[in-house]
A and B are shown apart, each in its own frame.
Chain A
Amino acid sequence: MAPRIATSAADAVAEIKDGSTVLIGGFGNAGQPMELIDALMECGANELTVVNNNAGQADAGLALLIKERRVKKIICSFPRQSDSWHFDEAYRAGEIELELVPQGNLAERIRAAGAGIGGFFTPTGYGTLLAEGKETRVIDGKGYVLETPINADFALIKALKADTLGNLVYRKTARNFGPIMATAAKQAIVQVDEVVQAGGLDPENVITPGIYVDTVVALGGTK
């Protein structure tokens, strides 16, 4: 089914409810769906579990969701940064739960969810604090840790362009988590600069096939 073309960022995120697990794309500001995050803030959904590489920067986007205590749990690889003060405060106050995951395991757990994989043995993290309590196995003399998929209710993603069938193209390193997050959520919500007619994207260049995409909103580009 072709994705819903939402009329605004607020319209795009309207179905996100309290207690949802939300994957949010982006690495730093590259690929961060800032308008969708702002709309999530406005829509009032609470008690969220958020999956992102970081835990918000400065006074914008995810950082504000954390500041307002709308995130009960964050699953990320790198929460502590020079400008992660809202997360730092919430964490020190014991008001946000942190699940720290090595970045490659985070990506692979998201990919696994989208690919229907029930778990995988990864060498990353073996013998470290982040493997404590997890099943391990030695395969051909090398140690591995069992990691499980991260399934989600929603994904918020930024791409460069979509067509009316939801096929996506990205731009440079803003691609990062977008393609895998689109596959791992029941509903992938994508903000793009522009929506073109089907046929307007070269199929050879499509990175996320439209089958994964549920909602698209065109917000105009800065470029």
Chain B
Amino acid sequence: MSNYSSTEEKLSRDEMAQRVAADIPAGAFVNLGIGQPTNVSNFLTGEQGVTLHTENGMLGMGPVATGEDVDEDLINAGKIPVTELPGASFFHHADSFAMMRGGHLDVCVLGAFQVSGAGDLANWHTGAEGAIPAVGGAMDLAIGAKQTWVMMSLFTKTGESKLVEALSYPVTGLGCVSRIYTEVAIFELLDSKVFVRSSHGLSFEELQAKVPVELIKA
């Protein structure tokens, strides 16, 4: 039985975030990367009981702090002031990355420059000449969680697919991505096969024509 579905319209950024949020299992421990993934927190419901991790040393992170709640000692990985929820905990950096690397987080959601059909991720460095490299926690996040999901636009500004056969950008982590959310399709990656769970604003055939890896209807 096919699980594939489609919609006429592309997904907006909020709709992408909404879909990611809806797919996060109840009670999960989750790390949301900087950029688009941060928006996912706006669509998590209280009933889901999801606990957010920030790699600078906190579980139970609450929404962005405003006004009197701003505290320079309470920030997220993007160095933005945040709040703490009841039941929050603080820990040092080695513990924070140990809980990530040790597979204790259920889901990590990241942005990407490219993902390969085998789930290889590039999101830390363009490799451009003169670019100053900075990696932060990208490599740890990519391979640490039980599941790594990517949110990205499927195409570059010049229309090339960011879902590729083999990465042309420097690797962040090998074989680590299991799901990709884009504005035109949601992909599931399993054993180097790429399944399309849904397409948006493009038919399956139109999508296949634009993506250089073999697609399978989920």
Contact = CB atoms under 8 A, between A and B. Distances in A.
A binds B: yes
Contacts of B211: none
A211 interface: no
Interface of B: 54-58, 71-75, 79, 84, 90-94, 96-98, 100-101, 125, 130, 132-140, 143-144, 170-174
A179 B135 contact: no
**Interface SS of B by simple majority:** loop
A101 B170 CA distance: 15
Contact of B75 (A53, A101, A128, A173): A173
Given A30-B73, A127-B174, A173-B56, A77 B135 contact: yes
A111 B137 CA distance: 16
Interface stretch (A8-16, A37-45, A64-72, A118-126): A118-126
Given A28-B79, A108-B98, A130-B135, 16 more contacts: A30-B72, A30-B75, A77-B134, A78-B135, A80-B133, A100-B134, A104-B101, A108-B94, A124-B139, A126-B143, A128-B170, A171-B73, A172-B74, A173-B58, A174-B73, A180-B92
A31 B57 CA distance: 12
Given A104-B100, A108-B97, A128 B172 contact: yes
Interface of A: 27-31, 53, 77-81, 87-88, 91-92, 100-105, 107-108, 110-111, 122-130, 143, 170-180, 207
B125 A129 contact: yes
Given A30-B72, A127-B174, A128-B172, A175 B134 contact: no
B56 A30 contact: yes
Contacts of B134: 77-81, 100
A157 to B, nearest CB: 11
A183 to B, nearest CB: 10
Given A127-B174, A176-B92, A103 B97 contact: yes
B137 A28 contact: no
19 contacts: A30-B75, A53-B93, A78-B134, A79-B134, A80-B132, A81-B134, A88-B132, A100-B134, A103-B97, A107-B94, A108-B94, A129-B125, A171-B73, A173-B54, A173-B74, A174-B72, A176-B92, A179-B94, A207-B92
Contacts of B133: 79-80, 100
A104 B79 contact: no
A107 B136 contact: no
Contact of B92 (A124, A126, A130, A177): A177
Contacts of B74: 30, 172-173
B56 A91 contact: no
A74 B133 CA distance: 13
A35 to B, nearest CB: 15
Nearest to A111: B94
Contacts of B55: 103-104
A90 to B, nearest CB: 11
A132 B143 CA distance: 18
Contacts of B172: 128
Contacts of B173: 126-128
Given A30-B72, A176-B92, A179-B92, A123 B135 contact: no
A22 B38 CA distance: 34
A103 B93 CA distance: 9
Contact of A124 (B54, B56, B79, B140): B140
Q: Which of A100, A127, A128 has the most CB of B within 10 A?
A: A128
A125 B139 contact: yes
A129 B135 CA distance: 11
B96 to A, nearest CB: 7
By Cβ-Cβ distance, the 4 closest A-B pairs, closest first, are: A104-B97, A104-B140, A28-B79, A107-B93
B75 A102 contact: no
Contacts of A207: 92
A87 B134 CA distance: 12
Contacts of A80: 132-134
